[in-house]
């Protein structure tokens, strides 16, 4: 805990008249006199300004903070034979307490501007939610909701039922299972369907997603044995065929969403693997990663393999993320065959990995948008961001640039430059959307690293990207032009 900080800087101390008179009669700077000159806790708490703090933050918090300052003051007296500055200036102590207490009570998960050029930024919370999802979440937070209750039948229900009807309509899947994220979905699929048995995976698909999530590690964790087939660049149907034994539980396909192997390559399509698995009586499972439910080519992105296409090709279970290209809350969806989904639902891990009502409410609201695909590009924030044209972004940029130049000169210059936005979250690493960046450069007396710090300390921190001696703000990420202008104007004026 900060017990005084800037308030304890050395400087001559001045005492209240009362204390001063007392002190004058004794040796003025003996430790005893200094200890006596320290105000008491009760006298501090009784001051109107501190009483007001207690109204805001509660007596215990104010008392604990004051305790820290008094303790630091006693240490200062014993070590340096002097009083801290605030003894002569109660306003200074009050200011310190306000800083300290407001820091303790401020939210670390506050809104920021993601102008990094990566739309689905994992460090910035991935997909922003639609207004409908936000409304659905606040309503189930506020009121009881039939999370595990069938209103019509008046009996106990299953929490995943909230979305299973929607998933059936959107993907054709017989059933579905929802967990906390796609990593959990993969772990659950493997644990429930393949534990103690072999799973065949192509060497070209032994993906590391980031952090500790590598397909071989997840398999070990799930208790199945990985059987690698093929080579890094080429895997053929016969490689899979030859690897099947009586111990094989499944073939697993992993969508290599975060890298791209090009050149002399071969992979086996799901439709062919589906046939093989049916013949040999084993399961075909697929980790799709992003798993979009809509055609992304309208934005100039590549089409992602969809869960519905995978199921038609004969894949038994498909898993994908809720907060990547789907544009919903953090979650992992597993869709597919009823009998296998039943196995997942009754596995003990499902209880540990299940989603709460907030996530399910947001996911349901997100999926409802997909029933009317023509509204996706206005209702789902990630789609709205993908849909912006470079021309629109250039016009926004010109307006911002004109308004901001006078506020940032002469220390900083502002230019507009073409740039490229990434999807992010490991999706489509080699596809970019043409965009426009507001680029700040340091001129005489300016410092780019100071500017970057200053932007991060804004009321709503502005996060850009440092590159080539520029602080670049990719405008595809903005939520509201007028609000960004206000934020950046304040930052300029404060410089």
Binding site for ligand PLP (CB under 6 A): 181-183, 186, 207, 209, 254-255, 257-258, 287, 289, 321, 332, 426
Query: What residues contact residue 46 under an 8 Å CB cut-off, 6+ apart?
Result: none
CB of 160 to ligand PLP, least distance (A): 17
CB of 170 to ligand PLP, least distance (A): 18
Rounded alpha-carbon distances, angstroms, from residue 356 to 126, 160, 257: 19, 10, 28
| CA-closest candidate to residue 261, choices 283, 232, 290 | 232
**What's the rounded Cα separation, in Å, for the pair 400 and 485?**
6
Residue closer to ligand PLP by CB (options 53, 423) is: 423
CB of 343 to ligand PLP, least distance (A): 20
Which residue carries 């003996």 as its tokens?
30
- Over its C-alpha atoms, the chain yields an Rg (Å, rounded) of 30
Q: Retrieve residue 379's tokens.
A: 């209702």
Residue closer to ligand PLP by CB (options 37, 207) is: 207
CB of 298 to ligand PLP, least distance (A): 22
Q: Retrieve residue 433's tokens.
A: 């959307």
Residue closer to ligand PLP by CB (options 92, 258) is: 258
**What's the rounded Cα separation, in Å, for the pair 391 and 406?**
24
Residue 369 contacts residue 132 (beta carbons within 8 Å)? yes
Residue 453 contacts residue 495 (beta carbons within 8 Å)? no
Cα 386 to the chain's mean position, in Å?
19
| CA-closest candidate to residue 86, choices 134, 120, 38 | 38
Angle separating helix axes 390-408 and 481-494, nearest 10 degrees: 20
Residue closer to ligand PLP by CB (options 326, 484) is: 326
Residue closer to ligand PLP by CB (options 7, 254) is: 254
Residue closer to ligand PLP by CB (options 205, 379) is: 205
Which residue carries 């596995």 as its tokens?
347
Residue 186 contacts residue 319 (beta carbons within 8 Å)? yes
**What's the rounded Cα separation, in Å, for the pair 171 and 308?**
4
CB of 480 to ligand PLP, least distance (A): 28
Residue closer to ligand PLP by CB (options 8, 160) is: 160
CB of 336 to ligand PLP, least distance (A): 16
CB of 452 to ligand PLP, least distance (A): 28
Q: Label the pairing between strands 465-467 and 470-474.
A: antiparallel
Helix (H, G, I), strand (E, B) or coil at 228: strand
CB of 456 to ligand PLP, least distance (A): 25
Which sign does the torsion angle of CA 385, 388, 392, 398 carry?
positive
- Report the residue closest to ligand PLP, judged by CB: 289
CB of 2 to ligand PLP, least distance (A): 36
Residue closer to ligand PLP by CB (options 248, 257) is: 257
Residue closer to ligand PLP by CB (options 164, 182) is: 182
Residue closer to ligand PLP by CB (options 171, 470) is: 171
**What's the rounded Cα separation, in Å, for the pair 416 and 400?**
10
Residue 194 contacts residue 341 (beta carbons within 8 Å)? no
CB of 184 to ligand PLP, least distance (A): 7
Residue closer to ligand PLP by CB (options 304, 316) is: 304
Q: Which residues pair with 436 in a beta bridge?
A: 418
Residue closer to ligand PLP by CB (options 179, 463) is: 179
Residue 363 contacts residue 166 (beta carbons within 8 Å)? no
CB of 180 to ligand PLP, least distance (A): 8
CB of 126 to ligand PLP, least distance (A): 8
Q: Which residues pair with 462 in a beta bridge?
A: 113
Q: How are the residues of the chain apportioned to helix, strand and coil, as percentages rounded to the nearest 5?
A: 50, 20, 30
CB of 331 to ligand PLP, least distance (A): 8
| CA-closest candidate to residue 292, choices 179, 177, 382 | 382
Residue 186 contacts residue 287 (beta carbons within 8 Å)? yes
């Amino acid at each position: 805990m900060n017990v005084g900080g800037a308030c304890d800087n050395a400087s001559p101390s001045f005492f209240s008249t009362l204390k001063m008179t007392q002190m004058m009669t004794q040796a003025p700077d003996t430790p005893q006199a200094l200890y006596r000159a320290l105000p008491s806790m009760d006298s501090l708490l009784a001051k109107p300004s501190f009483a007001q703090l207690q109204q805001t933050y509660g007596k215990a918090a104010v008392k604990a903070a004051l305790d820290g300052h008094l303790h630091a003051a006693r240490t200062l007296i014993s070590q340096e034979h002097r009083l801290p500055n605030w003894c002569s200036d109660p306003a200074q102590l009050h200011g310190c307490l306000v800083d300290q207490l407001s820091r303790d009570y401020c939210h670390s998960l506050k809104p920021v501007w993601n102008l990094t050029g990566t739309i689905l930024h994992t460090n910035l919370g991935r997909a922003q939610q639609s207004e409908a999802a936000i409304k659905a979440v606040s309503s189930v937070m506020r009121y009881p909701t039939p999370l595990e209750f069938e209103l019509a039948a008046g009996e106990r229900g299953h929490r995943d039922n909230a979305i299973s009807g929607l998933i059936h309509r959107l993907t054709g899947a017989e059933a579905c299972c929802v967990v906390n994220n796609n990593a959990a979905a993969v772990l659950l699929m493997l644990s429930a369907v393949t534990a103690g048995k072999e799973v065949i995976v192509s060497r070209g698909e032994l993906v590391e997603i980031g952090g500790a999530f590598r397909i071989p590690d997840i398999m070990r964790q799930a208790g199945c044995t990985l059987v690698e087939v093929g080579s890094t660049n080429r895997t053929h149907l016969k490689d899979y065929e030859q690897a099947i034994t009586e111990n094989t539980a499944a073939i697993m396909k992993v969508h290599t969403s975060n890298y791209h192997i090009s050149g002399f390559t071969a992979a086996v399509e799901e439709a062919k693997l589906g046939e093989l698995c049916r013949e040999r009586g084993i399961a075909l499972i697929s980790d799709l990663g992003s798993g979009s439910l809509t055609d992304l080519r309208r934005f100039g992105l590549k089409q992602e393999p969809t869960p519905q296409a995978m199921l038609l090709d004969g894949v038994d279970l498909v898993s994908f993320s809720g907060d990547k290209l789907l544009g919903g809350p953090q979650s992992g969806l597993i869709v597919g065959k009823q009998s296998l989904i039943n196995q997942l639902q009754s596995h003990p891990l499902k209880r540990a990995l299940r989603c709460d009502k907030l996530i399910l409410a947001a996911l349901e609201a997100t999926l409802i948008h997909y029933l009317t695909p023509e509204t996706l590009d206005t209702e789902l924030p990630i789609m709205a961001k993908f849909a912006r044209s470079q021309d629109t972004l250039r016009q926004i940029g010109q307006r911002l640039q004109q308004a901001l130049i006078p506020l940032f000169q002469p220390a900083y210059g502002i230019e507009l430059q073409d740039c490229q936005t990434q999807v992010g979250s490991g999706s489509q690493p080699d596809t970019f959307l043409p965009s426009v960046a507001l680029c700040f450069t340091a001129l005489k007396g300016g410092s780019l690293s100071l500017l970057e710090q200053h932007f991060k300390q804004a009321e709503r921190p502005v996060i850009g990207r440092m590159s080539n001696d520029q602080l670049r703000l990719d405008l595809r990420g903005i939520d509201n032009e007028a609000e960004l202008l206000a934020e950046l104007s304040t930052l300029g004026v404060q410089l």
